[in-house]
Structure 1
Amino acid sequence: MEMNVSNDEQVVARKAGGLNPTLILPILLAIGYLIYYFVLGNPSNFKDDPRLTGMSVGFSGVETKELHPDGFMGIIYMGGPIVPILITFMIIVIVFSIERALMLNRAQGQGNLDQFVLSIRRLLNENKIDEAIEECDRQRGTVGNVIKEGLVSYKALAHDTTMNKEQKMAALNKAIEEATTLEMPMLEKNMMILSTLGTVATLVALLGTVIGMIKAFNALGSGGGTPDSAALSIGISEALINTALGIGTSAVAIIFYNYFTSKIDSMTFKIDEIAMSIQQSFAEHH
């Protein structure tokens, strides 16, 4: 009964680790829109901004086609209504990448992980189980937590007289698998957000690109044969700005997702490596 309570507490602790997307995403969305309207849309980013003379047209204070950017931030503002969404995506990628980096760094524990693996394997070869458990306590990481559960089960099964060797090996393997399952949610939490934005950011940017090109072709076909050059350039600019933001956000999300995935795979491989050593040691000494 005590073991079930302990496992339940561990599951709750691992699910609670990291940022809660339900709470943080609306906040980041609000920040994205505030940056768009009050930082990028600041009148100082435009030449002869009609808003400075008291005009008030639309939500942003003036129609976009009447603005004349004076700097990079003003140019980004001209990207249209899809830009704040893409800005939000970029902020989400940055925030959750930092969160994952901190969590995975903590999951790696203290000291060099490769040296920890070698140390545990050496102690197992010498059948020094208590010393190996102490080494796991000092490591304080995901690999150490899983291996400690395996070693504790190792000690308990070594003194168990009710099961034969095959049953003990199966129980030991199950204990390691359960410990690994408890640790994985903490490692993989919020990874889906990075994976999703790696694709969705490009699609949303494509929507902004299409909207910009529609405006450009509309300007090209208006005016009775004389295209509105200003509206045409604004439409093309809007399309390219959305494309650039979307590609940039997608690239950053994919890079961080692959980097974190490789770190998780590396830790999982080390767990499997030591787990095999534990099973071999148990089979040899018991």
Structure 2
Amino acid sequence: MLATFFQETAEEITQNAENLEPVVEEKTLSLFELLTSGGIAGNIIIIVLGVLLILAMYIYFERLFAIKAASKTDVNFMHQIKDNVATGNIEAAKIRCAQENSPVARLTAKGISRIGSPLEDINTAIENAGRLEVYKLEKNVSILATIAGAAPMIGFLGTVIGMIIAFHQLATSSGQAEMGSLAQGIYIAMTTTVAGLIVGIIAYMGYNHLVVKTDKVVHQMEATAVDFLDLLNEPA
């Protein structure tokens, strides 16, 4: 009986001890909570960076589709132009250029319209038309480059603001600031820096990709211009 009593008492003590143990709740922080937990100053900077990210993505995809459309040209286009020019059928060559909606076709049409002029004048006309086509291809791409440089700087501005808030809390509390007040300033410093770098990296990569795509179209136009001038230089 005595052994049974001590056993039951020990079980009761164990159960009471387990009940007295503090329950540790695991706290998770979502991405949205992380971005919006930096106070008013942090939220304003995050909103600005969000707008820049949306603008950068819009410019990137809009230019990407435009450049892809500009790079599509019929492989038989120049052969048909050469045949028409060689046979003296200039009107047919102009009509074929009008049917092909691409920078290469517009450059060729500009050269065809100058047939009969000195070769140097034709070359100058093609070069001027080429500059206009490159300008169209690079439309708004400079904004993407600006976002790539400005976004990290805006993020670092949030870092400075966050550290100022943290040190201000320390200064006004005689070195005994609450951890919550300090944490808010540190949140602003960290989240805005990360957000600024993410936006900047995305914009930078998009800008470089568009530059590469544009260069390919420019080289295609240069090759076409050389072919067309060679066609005019061929002996009759």
TM-score where L is the length of structure 1 = 0.62
1:190-229, CA deviations, whole angstroms, 9 ceiling, x for partnerless residues? 1111011111111111111111112223334453333311
Quick one: which of 56, 75, 78 aligns to 2:34? Answer: 75
Assess, with a 3 A threshold, how the Cα gap between structure 1 residues 210 and 129 changes in structure 2: closer, same or farther.
farther
2:215 paired with 1:254: no
Quick one: which of 64, 89, 101 aligns to 1:140? Answer: 101
1:37-96, CA deviations, whole angstroms, 9 ceiling, x for partnerless residues? xxxxxxxxxxxxxxxxxxxxxxxxxxxxxxx99632122112313221111111111122
1:159-214, CA deviations, whole angstroms, 9 ceiling, x for partnerless residues? xxxxxxxx711111022112213323321211111011111111111111111112
Give me the whole-angstrom Cα distance separating, in 2, the residues matched to 1:196 and 1:224.
42
Assess, with a 3 A threshold, how the Cα gap between structure 1 residues 141 and 229 changes in structure 2: closer, same or farther.
same
Gaps (5+ residues) in structure 2? 1-26
Gaps (5+ residues) in structure 1? 1-67, 158-166
Q: Which residue of 1 aligns with 2:164?
A: 214
Q: Which residue of 2 aligns with 1:91?
A: 54
Task: Report if aligned partners of 1:136, 1:147 keep a CA contact under 8 Å in 2.
Answer: yes
Q: Give the letter aligned to residue 105 of structure 2.
A: G
Q: Which residue of 2 aligns with 1:120?
A: 78
TM-score where L is the length of structure 2 = 0.74
**Which of the pair has the greater relative contact order for Cα pairs under 8 Å at 6+ separation?**
2
Assess, with a 3 A threshold, how the Cα gap between structure 1 residues 129 and 98 changes in structure 2: closer, same or farther.
farther
Give me the whole-angstrom Cα distance separating, in 2, the residues matched to 1:240 and 1:78.
11
Give me the whole-angstrom Cα distance separating, in 2, the residues matched to 1:265 and 1:129.
33
Q: Which residue of 1 aligns with 2:113?
A: 152
Matches within 5 A, 1:11-30: none
Give me the whole-angstrom Cα distance separating, in 2, the residues matched to 1:69 and 1:238.
19
Q: Give the letter aligned to residue 230 of structure 1.
A: G
